[in-house]
Amino acid sequence: MRELDPVVNVLFPASGGCIPLEHGYALYGALKQVWPDIQAYAWLQIGPIQPLCRSRGKTVVGRDATLLLRAPVSHLAILFPLAETVHTLDQGELAIGRPIISQLQPSPILYSPFFTVKVHDGGEAFAPWDDLRLSRFVVGVEARLAVAGITQGRAHVDITRPRWLHIKDGGASGYPVAVLGCSDAESLALQSVGLGGRRKMGCGVLVPWVG
């Protein structure tokens, strides 16, 4: 199926001022103005805007920043109306340019800055993780890899950088995750489908690692 309808990178130039560091949910809400049926787009991955930088204690869109979308070639026409639009993320403004389309490229190391674990109710603050919870998290990531048919790639979790994604009155917690030692076929397969949930909110969208 991937050969007949391959998944490709759709890179939209992004510019603007201050936006939330964890902007996945705010961006998802803004894009619903372009695609009211986005919730039904199971084929769509929306990566976080990169790079971001800190300026005077605030998170701002970096120079030459891009918004990465991934989609099968057959759905590209749905994405093009996003070009040359302007959106508000919280109190910051984000301008989107015309996209560049490129093929996925295999890499032995893939990286996602945010892999989600669990949704919490009531706006609960991020709680410290004990060794047992961390162990279960790693097992959960590896289980996802097994379900995806990955036999060579192994997960590495950066436990020094916990993340928290605000979603309505709750949120999702997690960590950055790398998948090491992928074969070319595994790398392309993982990039095509992503890993875990909330892939339309910037979570589990895997990109080649550039060290």
pLDDT at position 58: 67
CA-based nearest residue to 89, from 162, 166, 35: 166
Three-state DSSP class for 48?
strand
The tens digit of pLDDT for each residue in 109-159 reads: 999 988 886 534 444 444 555 666 677 777 778 878 887 788 888 888 887
- pLDDT per position as a tens digit, 158-207: 877 877 777 776 777 788 889 999 999 999 999 999 988 889 998 999 99
pTM: 0.84
**Do residues 117 and 25 touch, judged by C-beta distance below 8 A?**
no
What is the distance between the alpha carbons of residues 177 and 189, in angstroms, rounded to a whole number? 17
